[in-house]
Amino acid sequence: MPKITINGQGYDVPAGKTVLQVCLEQGIKIPYFCYHHKLSIAGNCRMCLVEVVGRPKLEISCNCPVQEGMEIKTDSPVVLEARKSVLEFILINHPLDCPICDQAGECKLQDQYFDHSAVPYRFREQKVQKPKAVPLGPLVVLDDERCILCTRCVRFCDEVPKAHEIALSERGDRSTIVTYGTEGMKNAYSLNTVDICPVGALTSRDFRFGKRVWFLSKTPSLCTGCSTGCNVWLDQERGVAYRYRPRENNDVNECWMCDEGRLTYKYINAPDRVVTPFARSPENRQWTRASWDTVLAQLRTILAQVSVAERAVVLSAQCSNEENFAWTRLVRETWAGARLFATRREYPNPSEDQILRHCDKNPNARALSEFGIHERYAGGARVLFVLDALTPEEIAAVQQTRPACVVLLTTNWGVHPDAVRWRPLTNVDAVIEQGGAADRLDTLKTDTLEAPTPDPYPWADFVLPLATVAEQCGTFVNVKGRVQRFERAMPSQAEARPAWAVAQHVATLEGRPLPWEDAAAILAAIGETVPSFQGITWEQVGEFGTLLNGTAVRQCVSA
């Protein structure tokens, strides 16, 4: 443990670390642009210069290993002056177009100018002209004039997806980021370059010009695009989801996520959301909007005519533990003798790689196994409750055996082409082929009060609005057995409800209410019932999740 001095205070620090790492760990602020804790050291921005007493020149702290007896100054006049001068140099050819720049509000250059420089502009020459709005790939757009050439994006592509797709071209202040040939940036993780770009040079075609970032609220959530369970921030404003950004969790996704997962937020805003209950009109079997009260009254009548043995519930690997467990409890305790089935979304040729993408595109398949529910529905029920959706085989079984009543709880009518969750992007090539899929969904919501034609669910008798991951709390279990929490980011759209709340309504109809007040209470109940969940509580799951009992720790991502 070398002993070093930083700004006059002594520290024992682990050998092999750099001055920057040590300072960041100790809460000593050193500004930087090119350094990224998950990428190799470039040392080019020169923003993190510090004074090492006894050395003739300032050193870049990002590449300066700590040594016994080292005396470091991060706030001496020469260091402060060097920061000012680096910022001045960076800004001379910068367009200074913050008012129209997408990055404004979350721009490191903007922040650091205010923190460390704030000097008047002395540059009175012609700026270097560079290209604007250059597409680097289907999803990423480059504004070359804003680029500070930190090369984070180049290093990311080289080191994480190992796709050597972009590079520096030209030299000096003519340097630009370019793609090799005409192929462009097609790797499945390209949008991470937008996250790590410290300035407004790389923008997401999906998000750019969509919203000033200071209007957005962020909520810790989970990507539902596959069973990896990448941790995300869900950014929303007034009930409209604008983007997912990776939330760092070194046990799951480090600080990355894949492009197709990132775009799955769109189903939350989709114009074809189911936001009120629908029931078939007795006259012509057309879908008509109904109230929850009407629907529940009808269900009560129907259930009274059917024995519990003729009832069945299809749980979904798309739904949370709490949603599935509430229905499990209803079936096993109130409807003893009714049957439970499991369904999941299945896609032809699902994308998969060794980094983050998993071929199982369901966020919660693992939990259904833990609950002991595997069987696929093949007919036999007279009253059938379905969570989320059915596969074509299961739909065929429903149509052949003709139950008296099928109740579908779902989020979307499943017809809108922009609701990416319904047309998964199996790879980025698909994005290119689909063209429009990458374009930002028009976030103006239309309250869908009429069912679309043709009828997407001819086999159902009720369609009930299910709250999305954005509108409820809950937990998923990822493919490696990690229980992870997602928080409620916004109020439910119109009358959408979590499936567990619907289970509670139905149980109440039957005179045996389920007791829970919230998802945390249900998770506690799961802990009392399911061995692998024993002792797992809402608090314990925390920000970064916890492993199911008996699950070995396994490294995720590139390691």
Site string for other proteins, 88-107 (x = CB under 8 A): xxx-xx--------------
Percentages helix, strand, coil for the chain (3-state, rounded to 5) are 30, 20, 55
Residue 76 touching other proteins (CB under 8 A): no
SS3 284: coil
State residue 35 phi and psi, 5-degree precision: -65, 135
Stretch that binds other proteins, among 78-86, 189-197, 281-289, 474-482 (CB under 8 A): 78-86
Stretch that binds other proteins, among 81-89, 139-147, 256-264, 419-427 (CB under 8 A): 81-89
Question: How distant is the alpha carbon of residue 91 from its chain centre?
Answer: 33
Stretch that binds other proteins, among 2-10, 124-132, 291-299, 542-550 (CB under 8 A): 124-132
Report the alpha-carbon distance of residue 499 to residue 501 in Å, rounded. 5
Stretch that binds other proteins, among 39-47, 236-244, 258-266, 339-347 (CB under 8 A): 39-47
Residue 121 touching other proteins (CB under 8 A): no
Total number of residues shown for the chain: 559
Residue 391 touching other proteins (CB under 8 A): no
Report the alpha-carbon distance of residue 498 to residue 503 in Å, rounded. 9
Residue 41 touching other proteins (CB under 8 A): yes
Q: How far is the CB of 106 from other proteins (least distance, A)?
A: 21
Report the alpha-carbon distance of residue 86 to residue 46 in Å, rounded. 7
Residue 166 touching other proteins (CB under 8 A): no
CB closer to other proteins, 5 vs 175? 175
Stretch that binds other proteins, among 79-87, 138-146, 418-426, 519-527 (CB under 8 A): 79-87
Q: How far is the CB of 65 from other proteins (least distance, A)?
A: 7
Q: How far is the CB of 63 from other proteins (least distance, A)?
A: 5
Residue bearing tokens 């036999």: 380
The candidate with the shortest Cα–Cα distance to 482, out of 554, 415, 530, 428, is 554
Supply the DSSP symbol for 331: I
Residue 86 touching other proteins (CB under 8 A): yes
State residue 278 phi and psi, 5-degree precision: -125, 140
Q: Which of 58, 140, 313, 437 binds other proteins (CB under 8 A)?
A: 58
The candidate with the shortest Cα–Cα distance to 278, out of 269, 268, 291, 266, is 291
Residue 151 touching other proteins (CB under 8 A): yes
Stretch that binds other proteins, among 44-52, 241-249, 347-355, 527-535 (CB under 8 A): 44-52
Number of residues that bind other proteins (CB under 8 A): 38
State residue 159 phi and psi, 5-degree precision: -100, -30
CB closer to other proteins, 149 vs 428? 149
On whether the CB atoms of residues 428 and 138 are closer than 8 A, the answer is yes
Residue 249 touching other proteins (CB under 8 A): no
Residue 194 touching other proteins (CB under 8 A): no
Q: How far is the CB of 549 from other proteins (least distance, A)?
A: 45
Residue 167 touching other proteins (CB under 8 A): yes
Can you give the three-state secondary structure of 508-552, one letter per residue?
Answer: HHCCCCCCCCCHHHHHHHHHHHCHHHCCCCHHHHCCCCEECCCCC
Residue 109 touching other proteins (CB under 8 A): no
Q: Which residues contact 158 (CB under 8 A, 6 or more apart)?
A: 164
Can you give the three-state secondary structure of 137-169, one letter per residue?
Answer: CCCEEECHHHCCCCCHHHHHHHHCCCCCCEEEE
Q: How many other CB atoms sit within 10 Å of the CB of residue 297?
A: 13
Stretch that binds other proteins, among 45-53, 156-164, 295-303, 406-414 (CB under 8 A): 45-53
| Residues found near other proteins in the complex (CB under 8 A) | 41-47, 49, 56-58, 60, 63, 65, 82, 85-86, 88-90, 92-93, 122-123, 125-126, 128, 148-149, 151, 167-168, 170-175
